[in-house]
């Protein structure tokens, strides 16, 4: 099942109207596709919001479900969910009421997801850093020599991690490893600062929930700084790559390293 099919079956799935085979296929797709599984949770949130927002009108929701159950499954589901949703509502003449109430909620859900997206990226960066600190052998290639670390990534990633800073006596390069950033592989460069460990994650930037104000396209975007669970994180994007710098070092020092790495 591809993303297009998955999207078109989403509502039927949530209503329990898919056959067992299709349901299994969709579930398999959702478990492997972050984008569709996000859409799925937005749909679910929307339904929850509607159920909560309309407690004084239980009938429309019940009616909607009943109508949805009666509505024959279209042979080819080309239409988007809201068209089908709208269609299933139209007989009750309630489409206007629904859109009136649902659309602002829907956009609220989407925009809070965007705002929450940056938080998720920060949280993921901290998790990755913690994983590195806690694992017994955090560095798969242990070397202070950039020219050994960088080629080591070749063939282990589906992109070339562009990192210019080779390390210096103040921020020596300790080594590298392959990690994950949300749904994708990441190159992890580890730098030291006194007794602290600093992780630099490099990953493909596309289709991540970058904070608002990001250019979204190529070129440098403003760096985003945040403290989470006692760690300082600087997140930025340059062209097709995203970068996250994480450590418990002072924000000023971390910013200094970020500058060496070439942030705007
Ligand atoms: Zn998908």
Ligand 1 centroid to residue 216 C-alpha, Å: 21
Q: pLDDT above 90 covers what percent of the chain?
A: 27
Choose between 264 and 196: higher pLDDT.
196
pLDDT at 144 over 70: yes
Task: Tally Cβ neighbours within 10 Å of residue 131.
Answer: 15
Please name which of 10, 251, 261, 229 lies closest in space to residue 124, comparing C-alpha atoms: 229
Per-residue pLDDT at 149: 83
pLDDT higher than threshold 90 for residue 197 = yes
- Ligand 1 centre from 200 Cα, in Å? 29
Domains of the chain (ranges; CATH) run 3-93 (no CATH), 115-261 (3.30.200.100)
How far, in Å, CA of 110 to CA of 244, rounded? Answer: 24
CA 6 to centroid of ligand 1, rounded, Å: 6
Residue 75: predicted pLDDT: 42
How many Å lie between the centroid of ligand 1 and the Cα of residue 23?
14
Rounded CA separation 7/22 (Å)? 13
How many Å lie between the centroid of ligand 1 and the Cα of residue 124? 21
Report how far ligand 1's centroid is from the alpha carbon of 150 (Å): 32
pLDDT digits (tens, 9 = 90+) for 64-90: 555 555 544 444 444 555 555 555 544
Q: Exposed, middle or buried, 105 (CB in 10 Å: 0-12/13-18/19+)?
A: middle
How confident is the model over 200-247, as pLDDT tens digits? 999 999 988 887 654 444 445 568 899 988 899 999 998 899 999 999
Is pLDDT of 158 > 50? yes
pLDDT over 90 at 47, yes or no: no
Q: How far, in Å, from the CA of 167 to the mean position of ligand 1?
A: 40
The pTM for the full model equals 0.56
Distance 76 CA to ligand 1 centre (A): 18
Of the spans 3-7, 54-58, 234-238, which averages the highest pLDDT? 234-238
Average pLDDT, rounded, for the chain: 76
């Amino acid at each position: 099942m591809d993303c297009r099919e998955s999207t078109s079956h989403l509502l039927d799935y949530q209503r329990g109207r898919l056959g067992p085979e299709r349901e299994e296929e969709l579930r398999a797709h959702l478990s492997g596709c972050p984008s569709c599984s996000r859409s799925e949770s937005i749909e679910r949130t929307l339904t929850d919001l509607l159920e909560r927002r309309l407690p004084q009108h239980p009938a429309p929701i019940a009616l909607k479900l009943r109508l949805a159950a009666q509505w024959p499954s279209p042979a080819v589901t080309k239409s988007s969910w809201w068209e089908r949703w709208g269609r299933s509502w139209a007989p009750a003449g309630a489409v206007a009421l629904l859109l009136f109430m649902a659309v602002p909620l829907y956009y609220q859900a989407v925009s809070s997801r965007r705002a929450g997206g940056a938080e998720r990226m920060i949280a993921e960066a901290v998790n990755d850093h913690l994983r590195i600190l806690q694992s017994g052998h955090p560095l798969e290639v242990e070397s202070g020599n950039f020219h050994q670390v960088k080629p080591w990534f070749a063939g282990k990633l589906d992109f070339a991690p562009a990192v210019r800073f080779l390390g210096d006596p103040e921020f020596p390069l300790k080594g590298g490893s392959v990690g994950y950033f949300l749904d994708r592989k990441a190159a992890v460069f580890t730098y030291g600062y006194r007794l602290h460990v600093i992780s630099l994650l490099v990953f493909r930037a596309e289709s991540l929930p970058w904070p608002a104000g990001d250019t979204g396209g190529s070129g440098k975007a403003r760096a985003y700084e945040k403290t989470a669970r006692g760690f300082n994180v600087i997140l930025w994007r340059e062209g097709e790559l995203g970068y996250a710098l994480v450590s418990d070092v002072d924000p000023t020092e971390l910013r200094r390293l970020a500058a060496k790495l070439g942030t705007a």
